[in-house]
Structures are given as structure tokens and as C-alpha cells.
Amino acid sequence: MKEGSPISARVVAAQEARDLWLSGRAPVLLFAFSLLVSAITYFTAIDQTLNFLEHKEAVNFTLQIAVGVGVLVTLVVSADGISGERERGTLECLLLTPVPRRSIVLGKLVAALSVWFGAFVVTVPYIWVLGNGISLVAGALVLALTVGTVLAAGLAAAGLLISSVSGSNKASLAISLFVLLALFAPTQLPGGLPRGWFFDVLTRANPVASGLHYVGLVLVGGHAWTRDLGYLVSPVVLLVLATAVLTGWSPRLVRLFPGVRAA
């Protein structure tokens, strides 16, 4: 097969997706995700009843949490992609197959994204309930799908990079979770980051914060989709750079460490 052949990448993606979903890993993660979104929706609905939150704010808040946690779940899956195979002793068998290493990482990336799309599907009925009676539900879902997919793909590629260079699976998961929490935490500060050019630069440099800020500007601020596209620069840059490094250096990244052999 040609290096990076779409056919071989599709074969790897299909196999990885089957392993994720049939082994129960993806369904368990999405079940936990659904419990969290259920709790958030319940308490947000109570606040709506007490007039603490308007419909737009309720939809925006729940949607941002759902996107953030959905991306987290995707990152957890991708962080296990290489280091997990290495520890379980299955990476050597994978490397012996006639599949280019670029196709291996692309296939794992696509499979990880299937979990994000599953999380999005779980989110849809909750947003529909919270947005009942207003016309922004369809637009909010399309917006979340667009921004969330860019964030999920970029962070999944970054997770695979971390996984490929980590000495253990625990280290890969810990580093990936730390990175995401560091990126996601500023979005949950009361009132967001302080105002000013310096904090605006920090927001724009943070792909998660800038992506979610863009969602808020459209949903709550009523801005046109094209007005604040500058906030999507860092998510797109993350996606392009992480994917380019992952695919360009795949022969060096997808490898056994010295002394590692299949169990």
C-alpha cells in the first residue's frame, strides 16, 4: 500500500472504532458523560425556573460544558492510542502489519473522533429541552458541532503526540488531562477572564477558551458567525500543527521503546 493510503487509514480507523465501541470503553465513557450532562441540565433548568438564567444563557452554559467534557473524553481515548498499545504488548503486532505508520495514526485519530460525535449525539436532546420555545437550538447545535469538532480533532492529535512520546500510559493520560484542564479552567472562572488587551490575547492564544468564547459571543451576544472568526484561529492552528507533526513524524513516533516487546 502507498504511504498514508486513504484505504489503509480507513481500515485502521474501522478496526480501532470497533475495539473502542465493542470493548465497552466508549459506551462507558459516554454513559458517564450523559450522567454529567443530565445533572448540569437539571440544575440549569432549576435556575431557569427561578429566573436566574435566560434561555440563551442556559443553552450556552450547558453547551460549553458538554463541548469541554466531550473533548476531554476524546483526549482520554487518544492519549491511550500509542502508549496503551505499547504497554499492552499489541503495538509490535500492529507495526508488523503492512500498514504505513501514517495510516495508523490517522486511523486512531478518526476512531477517537467517533467518541466525540457520540458525545455530541448524547448532548442533542438536552439542548433541545433547555432551548424549548426559542429558535436558536438548531443554530446552537450546528455551532457546537463545528467548533467542537475542530477542538476535538486538534486535541486528539495532540493526545496521540503525547501518547507516542510518553514512557508509560499513566504518564500519557496524566499529561493530557493536565493540559486540557489548564486550557479549560479559564473558561469556568466567574465572569471569565478580566477584561483588557492582555487577557484578550491570552484568551485568543488558548484554543479551548477562544473556541468556547466564540460560541458564547454567537449564542448569548447575538453576534454574526463571521464577526469574531479571529477567536477560531488558535483552534485551527492547533489542529493543523498537531496533525502535521503527527503524520509527518509518524515513522519516528509510532515505535517500540528500547527493551519493549510484545507480551
Residue 221: per-residue pLDDT: 83
Q: What is the pLDDT of residue 54?
A: 72
Task: Decide: pTM greater than 0.75.
Answer: yes
- In the chain (263 residues long), the average pLDDT of successive 10-residue segments reads 62 87 90 92 70 70 89 89 80 75 88 94 90 77 93 92 84 85 69 63 85 89 87 93 85 58 41
User: What would the grid cell of residue 174 be?
Assistant: 496524566
Query: How much is the pLDDT for 186?
Result: 67
Cα dihedral value 116, 72, 146, 233, nearest 10: -150
pLDDT value of residue 180: 79
Q: For residues 43 and 13, what is the distance between their CA atoms, to the nearest angstrom?
A: 38
SS3 190: coil
Largest CA distance in the chain: 62
Query: Among candidates 208, 72, 219, 70, which has minimal Cα distance to 143?
Result: 219
Burial of 157 (0-12, 13-18, 19+ CB in 10 A): buried
Q: How many CA atoms lie within 13 A of 161 on its CB side?
A: 18
pLDDT at residue number 4: 52
| Interatomic CA distance for residues 50 and 227, integer angstroms | 33
Amino acid of residue 134 = I
Cell numbers 467534557 correspond to 69
